[in-house]
Amino acid sequence: MSNLAVVTTPSLTDLVTADKADTSAIMAMLGQSSDAGGSTKSVDFLPKLSIEHNTEDEEGNTLPRGQWKFKDSSGNWQHTKELTFRPFLRRYMYTVWDNAEQTYGSMTVQAASFGDEFFDNSGGIRCGKLGKKELALLDPDDPERTLQANVKCAQVIYGTAETDEIAATPVVWYARGSNFMPVADWIKTLEKQGKLMFNTRAKLSTLRQKYGGNIYYKSKIDVKDYVEFDPAADVPILEKFVESVNSHNAYIESEYKDARGEFADAEIVEALDSND
């Protein structure tokens, strides 16, 4: 199981620093290939890049809703209407949000391809997400449809965020919901152009959207420029991101094994009870 989830750092480093780069192999490992089109305890040390959806903080201070936010190198929250984002690595993961606890009730490993196994920390696969064919077989009023709607797939984008005032800062962006397709389309375009994602920088801004009586904001992505990969400066950043993925996956796999062990114990008890 571990072989599916953990990236081997030396091989990735060797690929990106080779005299003759194997673009296809690097894309696959970065999660950029079209074949891949597939806050946690392990990556909390990486600042999270997201759009501010609140209007005020817990102390009642006004927040600039609709702007990007992330913590700078000093640990201070920064808000900005626009920023420059350079993607290094993409992974996919499934999560289920628990409204009562205000935390994730279940989450999976981060995988480079939808063809990988998405083990989750509840002892299941993909947090119980059904495939399209299975979902289509459910009755329209089946309660399972509500449960399925709560299982979200996110693109986990590791990269650097910077502004005119803030130096490039390693961050992680969980692109889900209305942000999923803009990111997917952007990276797919890079793949078609034969460009590695870490050789491009984009200007991120936001778009105000209205659905019924709800107002929300989604990401707007515009290609800014293309940059060369600098092994001395960029390999440590890339390896930091790979370490984050491996740490997250090790934690989820451990939880998965523990949960499966509990399932096995329960099945043994049930079998013994039935024999009484």
Question: In angstroms, rounded to a whole number, what is the distance separating the alpha carbons of residues 221 and 172?
Answer: 16
Check: CB of residue 154 under 8 Å from CB of residue 95: yes
Q: What is the pTM of this model?
A: 0.81
66, 217 in Cβ contact below 8 A? yes
Q: Which residue has the tokens 């817990």?
A: 58
> What is the DSSP pairing of strand 151-162 with strand 83-98?
antiparallel
Q: How many helices (H) and strands (E) does the chain have?
A: 7, 9
| Distance between CA atoms of residues 199 and 63, nearest Å | 33
Looking at residue 22, its pLDDT comes to: 66
- In which region does residue 194 sit, left (phi positive, over 0), alpha (psi from -120 to 50) or beta (all else)? left
Rounded to the nearest integer, the mean pLDDT of the chain is 86
Instruction: Using the Cα atoms of residue 60, residue 208, residue 223 and residue 23 in order, give the sign of their dihedral.
Output: positive
pLDDT score at 10: 44
Q: Model confidence over 225-272: pLDDT tens digits?
A: 999 999 999 999 999 999 999 999 999 999 999 998 876 665 554 554
Q: Which of 1-10, 92-101, 160-169 has the lowest mean pLDDT?
A: 1-10
Instruction: Return the half-sphere exposure (C-beta side, CA atoms, 13 A cut-off) of residue 8.
Output: 6
User: Which residues are CB-contacts of 73 (< 8 A; sequence separation ≥ 6)?
Assistant: 167, 169
How many Cβ atoms are within 10 Å of 203's Cβ, its own excluded? 14
Question: Percent helix, strand, coil in the chain (nearest 5)?
Answer: 35, 30, 30
Given a cut of 60, whether residue 49 has pLDDT beyond it is yes
Contact 184, 172 (CB under 8 A): no
What digits encode the pLDDT tens for the residues 127-150? 999 988 999 999 999 999 988 999
Domain boundaries, the chain: 2-264
> Side chain identity at 151, as an amino acid letter?
V
Q: What percent of the chain has pLDDT above 90?
A: 68
Q: Above 60 in pLDDT, residue 36?
A: no
How large is the average pLDDT for residues 113-117? 93
Q: Is the pLDDT of residue 97 over 90?
A: no
Q: What DSSP state is assigned to residue 129? A: P
**Residue 112 three-state SS:** coil
H or E segment and range at residue 207: strand 200-211
* Residues 6 or more apart whose Cβ sits within 8 Å of residue 39: 48
